[in-house]
């Protein structure tokens, strides 16, 4: 599959990187000299000069520096599009058409083409889309953070990440439909994939949104607790915090026996999750007091032996180092090329420098993947 990536920042580049991990040939088109905005989003910068942010979402691509206003560059892009299977872009509506790249016309001219547009607030909006703004407007910040504190954004740009994955799902669905259609082909509307940060963020509210719809009440911030489950939260121990996630009534008695609270395990009022919700304060208080009497490892050993979902709160470095050890990857390699691909994907090319493959792509077009060096 040939993917022309006209996007920048995170949602679009993450989508095209996932397709590249799965084997697609991806050409990333960038502004000459400056390139993708995230090339300057540092420090930290890798010793090769690339920003860590850019490295996280741009492996398995060749980089072509091209100026949309230049007639020769525009002709090159149109030629690449004519042979492409997929175009991914996140320009404001109308911007590409004004640059001479009309998606409607290109979809009509190229019956194999699938066009994925990523926007902030939908195809009619001229508002630029940034993760932080959408987290605020989609309700995420209202439900994140300490109940007595300020609204808080999620620590990762999860709206961008979710949108990028939604875009990849939409593209794969369109490819499947194209395959099934065969020589009949798909109409233009079926070859258009449009996702927005706003709609992806709203869809990702899942049970929180449904709670509000069903109850008629607004959602609240629960900090490290859960609106619908008890106990399902962070607890302090004698040395470091852990999380316990009792997600089924059958887990309740063994969990309490594991931490030495048989009286809670036997309490008739606490045998169902609804009962534990009704008695949240006293249930959580008893568990919290007990867990501070011993270190985290002791509780985790007992809870794991009982089959109770639990875990220690790790730092990012601890979590990443553990994942790399499991995947048998060196930290130095991951620092240059990102975390291991999903679904058994492969890393074929390091994240490119801006315009690194411009000469090759201008000379060989899509044949550049035969020898991208």
Catalytic residues, by residue number, are 160
CB neighbour class for 12 (10 Å; exposed up to 12, middle 13-18, buried from 19)? buried
Widest distance between CA atoms in the chain? 78
Q: Which residues pair with 368 in a beta bridge?
A: none
Residue 64 phi, psi dihedral angles, 5° rounding: -115, 120
Continuous H helices in the chain: 11-21, 52-55, 71-83, 95-98, 103-109, 131-137, 158-181, 197-203, 206-215, 252-258, 262-266, 273-278, 280-291, 296-305, 316-327, 331-337, 358-364
Burial class (CB in 10 A: 0-12, 13-18, 19+), 121: middle
Q: First CA to last CA across the chain, in angstroms?
A: 20
- CB 154 within 8 Å of CB 163: no
Tokens of 258: 């594991």
* 31, 187 contact by CB (below 8 A): no
**369 three-class SS:** helix
DSSP label at residue 223: T
**85, 58 in Cβ contact below 8 A?**
no
Output the DSSP codes for 144-162.
Answer: SS-TTS-----SS-HHHHH
Q: What tokens appear for 82 in the block?
A: 């004519």
Query: Residue written as tokens 């315009």?
Result: 355
Strand partners, 233: 244
């Amino acid at each position: 599959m040939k993917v022309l990536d006209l996007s920048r920042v995170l949602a679009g580049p993450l989508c095209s990187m996932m397709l590249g991990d799965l084997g697609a040939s991806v050409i990333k088109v960038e502004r000459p000299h400056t390139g993708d905005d995230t090339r300057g989003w540092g420090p930290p910068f890798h010793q090769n000069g690339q920003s860590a942010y850019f490295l996280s979402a741009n492996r398995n691509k060749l980089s072509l520096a091209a100026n949309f206003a230049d007639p020769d560059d525009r002709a090159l892009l149109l030629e690449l599009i004519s042979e492409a299977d997929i175009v991914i872009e996140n320009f404001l509506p109308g911007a590409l058409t004004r640059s001479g790249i009309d998606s409607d016309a290109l979809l009509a001219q190229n019956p194999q083409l699938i066009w994925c547009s990523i926007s902030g607030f939908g195809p009619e909006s001229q508002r630029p889309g940034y993760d932080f703004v959408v987290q605020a407007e989609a309700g995420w910040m209202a439900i994140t953070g300490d109940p007595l504190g300020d609204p808080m954004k999620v620590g990762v740009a999860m709206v961008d990440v979710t949108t990028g994955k939604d875009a990849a799902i939409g593209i794969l669905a369109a490819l499947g439909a194209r395959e099934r259609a065969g020589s009949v082909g798909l109409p233009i509307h079926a070859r258009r994939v449009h996702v927005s940060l706003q709609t992806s963020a709203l869809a990702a509210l899942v049970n929180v949104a449904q709670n509000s719809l069903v109850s008629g009440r607004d959602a609240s911030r629960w900090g490290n607790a859960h609106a619908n489950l008890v106990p399902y939260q962070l607890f302090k121990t004698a040395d470091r915090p852990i999380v316990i996630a009792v997600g089924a009534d059958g887990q309740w008695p063994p969990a309490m026996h594991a931490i030495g609270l048989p009286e809670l395990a036997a309490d008739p009022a606490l045998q169902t999750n609804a009962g534990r919700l009704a008695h949240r304060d006293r249930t959580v208080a008893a568990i919290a007091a007990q867990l501070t009497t011993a270190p985290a490892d002791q509780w985790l050993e007992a809870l794991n032996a009982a089959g109770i979902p639990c875990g220690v709160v790790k730092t990012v470095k601890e979590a990443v180092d553990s994942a790399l050890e499991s995947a048998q990857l060196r930290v130095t390699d991951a620092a240059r090329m990102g975390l291991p691909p999903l679904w058994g994907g492969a890393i074929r090319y390091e994240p490119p420098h801006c315009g690194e493959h411009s000469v090759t792509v201008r000379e060989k077009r899509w044949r550049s993947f035969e020898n991208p060096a």
